[in-house]
Amino acid sequence: MTDTVNTPSIVILISGRGSNMVSIVEAINAGELPVEVAAVISNRPDAAGLNYAQKASIPTAVINHKDFESRDSFDQALAKKIDTYSPSLVVLAGFMRILTTEFVDHFAGKLVNIHPALLPKFKGLNTHQRAIDAGETEHGASVHIVTPELDDGPVVMQAKVPILANDTEQTLAARVLEQEHKLYPAAINQLLNNPNG
């Protein structure tokens, strides 16, 4: 597939279908993203994205958050598992867990997330409806470095879409997701292969 000697590796964390994970794998297979996926890890054993990863011959693991008494103990187990792969980057792709400061600090500068808004606007949930309600004319997605504060780290790259007069939360979300699938591989490529570009 790729020359693994100098190829940076990533670990992708998912909680569900992992549509952004799929777009990253497709970009790799198309030769657009010269990285290797060392593993896909989920906190949910029933995450649909695990099946996709397995069919793509990507190693998978499940660290079920329900098996742990505290967020700290879950994060410690997750960090330990990720460390076995020594990834260049840890990619959050629909990973629906708030991570502890200790976890974020452990992977400082190597942990990235995609957020469906033009940060610093609309941190948190329900971003599409909030953007419509606020009368915004454009919306989009941001790839950012994860810091202990939610959706607050440095922005790596953004993609914008116009908000149309007849947009609903669903139609806007669909257009933003389409852009996310292009944006995330491009941002990962920039971080790993053109860090100064």
Confirm whether 130 is domain-assigned: no
Catalytic sites, residue numbers? 115
Confirm whether 80 is domain-assigned: yes
Confirm whether 176 is domain-assigned: no
The C-alpha angle 36, 41, 47, rounded to 5 degrees, equals 120
Number of neighbouring beta carbons within 10 Å of residue 29? 11
CATH number of the domain to which 151 belongs: 3.40.50.170
Chain segment 157-184, per-residue pLDDT in tens: 999 999 999 999 999 999 999 999 999 9
Chain segment 35-65, per-residue pLDDT in tens: 999 999 999 999 999 999 999 999 999 999 9
Q: Which domain holds residue 189?
A: 9-124+141-158+183-193
pLDDT bracket for residue 3 (50, 70, 90): very low
Residue 6 neighbours by CB under 8 Å, 6+ apart: none
Number of domains within the chain: 1
